[in-house]
Amino acid sequence: MKAQALRDAGRHPPVPLKLELAGEAGVGLVIERWLRILPGRRYVGVARWGDREVLAKLFVGARAARRMVREQAGVNALTAQALDTPRVLAAGHADGVAWLLFDYLACARSLSERWKGLETEPMLSPAQRATLEQALSVVGRLHQAGLWQSDLHLANLLDDGQGRVYLIDGDGIQAEQAGRPLSAVRAADNLGVFFAQFPAQIEPYIPDLLKGYRVAAPGCAVVLDELIAAQRRVRAWRQRDLLRKAGRDCTLFSVERGLFGLRAVWREALPGVGALLEDPDQAIARGHRYKDGGAATVAKVEHEGRTFILKRYNIKHALHALKRFWRPSRAWHSWIEGHRLRFCGIATPQPLAVLERRWCGLRGRAYLITDYVDGQDILSAFAPYVDSPPPVAMLEALDRLFAALIRERISHGDLKGTNLFWQAQAQGGQWVLIDLDAVRQHHCSQSFARAFRRDRARFLRNWPADSMLYQLLNQRIPNSSFTPNA
């Protein structure tokens, strides 16, 4: 295949794929596995180049050569400052296609992959701390050399398992004055980008985490307040960006819109839930129903060895249809709020897909598919402890949940006991929120304070007011006089 044909191959070019590139790079270049694809722009894959395994970056389109030159310039800047980055083996461009072939670090693992295995641990567990300190040491050396990575996140740091961490994605490498430490403002802004990728509960730990960074970058006099302000600003932007992407076709989401329907799928889940979306009513019929009829039908569905929750939002009658057809469905609302909660570090089942039936754009039935959470709801988990203290791990996890809701100004709207599930883990455990139909993030402190008081009151009504458990929880959860910061 000629490399130009990649532009017409969509998101899933076939493999193995032999590509014809001009010059030396074209000799025996066979793509064996795709790692990242931006259709019509960039294709990254593991390839065989002669008898050598390489990482191939292919750029297509009118700006292909410019993107290749920018990427190579970033790699050269890192190399000139003796910073670890994979070596460029070949580069070139012709006929609207450009390419870079790199050393492939077969045993390397991104720090992002490692972090994913640690996300459910309490912030900041020893393993999390070790990962962040390793990353910040590299960032410190980068800043000390006068460079920064505009897209600074853990996926752009590769650990080879032998004590070396490699910086990748040269396209984002920029220089203020190479060889001299970054200015305090630039360094704070870039560290803000780094810390913004984590839940906000990391914020109190930032001063301590910076100790390793300061050792690696003694010339960067970062002001903590400026860093925190940058982190909050970038984090707010990242949340907005994620929720916008949840409604359009992109790398993270597969979205199809039309007059007769809307379908949005977490792209990683597409192979598993695609068949369920073909006939969700049949999937519900053969599943185990928790709730049937009325405004919603909820079922546990087994499919290809995985378990899902499939929720159908029903249209009860003509008047109900008139009320619902013109506004976003409750399925769509739950889809967006599920991604919001997970971004904020609040546990909720992963939203996998949403489907709206439409007629000429008017909404009808809608469906939501999420991961299945196995565990006890809080009523069952606390049933033995109505007159005695529950386990400390459960209480501390509840403290963390309410603290996160307060910090993010998020109200649930229906905190009955069956909407919180206990998920035990090696590092204690967490409470998982379900039923997100009424979840809301408030921009006004007063609005949130009112909603929080309602959530708190509804939560406490799960137990008798004269029970020891009620009294204990009433003392631990911030009371109705609480007013969040503006």
How high is the mean pLDDT in each 10-residue block of the chain (486 residues)? 66 82 68 88 90 92 90 95 94 86 92 89 88 96 96 93 90 92 95 93 93 94 94 95 93 83 90 89 90 83 92 68 62 95 94 84 80 93 93 93 93 95 82 94 92 95 95 87 45
Q: Tell me: cis bond preceding 124? Omega within 30 of 0 counts.
A: yes
**Can you give the pLDDT at residue 272?**
87
Angle at 116 between CA 112 and CA 120, to 5 degrees: 145
Q: State the pTM of this model.
A: 0.86
- Name the 3-class secondary structure at 59: strand
Are 459 and 449 in contact by the 8 Å Cβ rule? The answer is no
Could you give the CA distance from residue 380 to residue 383 in angstroms, rounded to a whole number? 5
Do 181 and 217 meet the contact criterion of CB atoms below 8 Å apart? yes
Per DSSP bridges, beta strands 42-49 and 52-60 are antiparallel
Q: How big is the CA angle at 180 (ends 178 and 185), to the nearest 5 degrees?
A: 100
CB 378 within 8 A of CB 417: yes
**8 A C-beta contact, residue 118 and residue 143:** no
Residue 313's SS3 state is strand
Q: Are 135 and 111 in contact (CB under 8 A)?
A: yes
Query: Which among 74, 89, 65 is positioned nearest to 3, based on CA atoms?
Result: 65
Cα–Cα distance for residue pair 78/145, rounded to 1 Å: 9
Distance CA 53, CA 102 (A): 9
What's the pLDDT score for residue 319? 55
Residue 308 CA to residue 304 CA, distance in Å, equals: 11
Nearest to 156 by CA among 142, 146, 144, 177: 142
Ranges of H-type helices in 120-183: 126-144
Residue partners of 137: CB distance under 8 A and separation at least 6: 165, 212, 213, 215, 216
pLDDT of residue 162: 85
Sequence-ordered list of residues with C-beta below 8 angstroms from that of 398, at least 6 positions apart, any chain: 431, 473, 476, 477
Domains and CATH numbers, the chain: 3-103 (3.30.200.20), 109-242 (1.10.510), 253-371 (3.30.200), 378-476 (1.10.510)
Please provide the DSSP assignment of 234-259 as one string. Answer: HHHHHHHHHHHHTTS-SSSEEEEEET
